[in-house]
Structure 1
Amino acid sequence: MSEHNEKPTDAAGPLVRDSHVDPATEAFLTHRNLLFTVAYEMLGSAADAEDVLQETWLLWAGVDLGTVREQRAYLVRITTRQALKRLRTLGRRKESYVGPWLPEPLLTAPDVAEDVELADSVSTAMLLVLETLQPTERAVFVLREVFDLDYDEIADAVGKSPAAVRQIAHRARGHVAARRPRDIVSPTETRAAIKAFQRAIETGDLQRLLDILAPDVVLLTDGGGLKQAALAPVVGADQVAQVLGNLTPVALLQPAQVNGHPALIVRLDGAIDTVVTVRIDGGLITGLYAVRNPEKLSHMEWETTVSR
């Protein structure tokens, strides 16, 4: 994963809003949060999404704006093409990744949850579902279902005919529907599950923990070979509860808004050690996702704006 520790507001290099900003820069900054969200949903990596935005800016800076009919669509097209290139490279990197690979968590503002579809689209559970799509399918699904682009615009972005894009969209939609959480869970329900989970861990009450875990719950831990983590999924409520019962008692569990949903930040000596997000089906936790890889935690120090 590439190193990228600048804040998102600085990540576009020399781009700074001022009274003398040129039209190309102004257009890019206007749509920057949208472009980041497109790239992030395609890649599941904030660091790679920021790199894609750098590449998008460099390409956009060389465009004759007089030839551009719709700036937003043009910028989305550049971003999508760059993200597709990177997605194929990222796929090769994941093949040699140590243990389960999880998306890079983002600290998001509470108001993201107000846009239910956007919050759902950036959730850890949904990003993992998108991981099961082929690169072009993923791009088409994201652009159509999340950002509501028309088929002609998507065709330009992915280099396919509109008819082919319709078929890809239909196939991707069915694939995602079969794998995504059955219901969109309210923030209140997720917050209640997180609170119960936190109390169970803090008190060591394994029975309370078992009460909120689905029998077939799956725990994925991403240490990336840099932090201790299970190298394979932990499956089943008893096994997951046993692993969680071993959490160090000196850890501080801090509720937070991560990827548009309530989550927990685990801190050791004040530093972020782990970020835990959940998937809920039928009122029970069916998926627990713990990111420990320190290279994936840099975007947890400040809020990242996602938009569509």
Structure 2
Amino acid sequence: MSEKTALLLLQMGGPDSIDAVKPFLLNLFTDRDIMKIGPAFLQPFIARRIVKKRAPKVEGYYREIGGKSPIRELTEAQGRGLQELLGPGYRSFVAMRYSRPSTLEALSAIKKEGISKVVALSLYPHYSRATTGSSVNELQRILKESKVKFSVTYIDRYYDHPLYIEALAEKVQQGLTAFPDPKKVQIVFSAHALPQSFIDEGDPYLAHIQETVRLVMERIGDQAPHQLCFQSKVGKVKWLEPSTGDMMKSLAAQGCKDILMVPLSFVSDHIETLHEIDIQYAEEARELGIERFVRSESLNNSPRFLACLADLVQKAEK
């Protein structure tokens, strides 16, 4: 077997074409780590009905951002950057939870290269059973079925890593330069929502998000006030609040004219940043009378973020 170490980047994924939207959504809605819709044996049937109803609208969203998600290319670029930082002893692979390359395809590629040592690196900084938990469960299921022995190390959270915090703070600082008076700006951290029941059952996601915001604002200082809210709610169950839409309405009612939207829990651009924030929320902001609505850049290939990932890998292997 090769002496190289495989860097297995765990990410949600996204459709790489309009035709791939329905399969992507079906994979998402049949995952009981994310949501339990009725009894397990009925969930695939119910999921197909949900997807049939939602797919046309979601396909329209993807058409507006170029016909696909850029998340695979961005994740592969992050892998290449991480590989360069760590040196020739490492080889990066991508495992998408709901699209391609799948976990099975990624492990097959690792096996083909004769690598037995794997560092599974979650690209969700804040742990939740719905994100990292689901990706790890899928990886462990495939590993159990595999006839190849892999030695796997897991990195499943880094919401408070100094370099991750620095990378986010850097993007916020850059975003503030777009405003004539930063002290009049409301910094709105928008994290992906999660059903409230997850938190009630002990999921640490909310606590991780809150700590990230605290640490970022500790670095930013008192340049501008800040808020935390949640986007991308699906279904009728109670989700984390306030929603991003409600937060924007509240700020507008208070006379706020400048908003810097900071996508939190997303380490690369995808539908939630490129469409939900850049198009939907930007339009809502105009309608609410908000004059300057700016989104801070996603981390993507941020050198500090890649340095954070490299540090995590090096420490995990000691």
- TM-score range (shorter-chain normalised) is under 0.3
Q: Provide TM-score, normalisation by structure 2.
A: 0.26
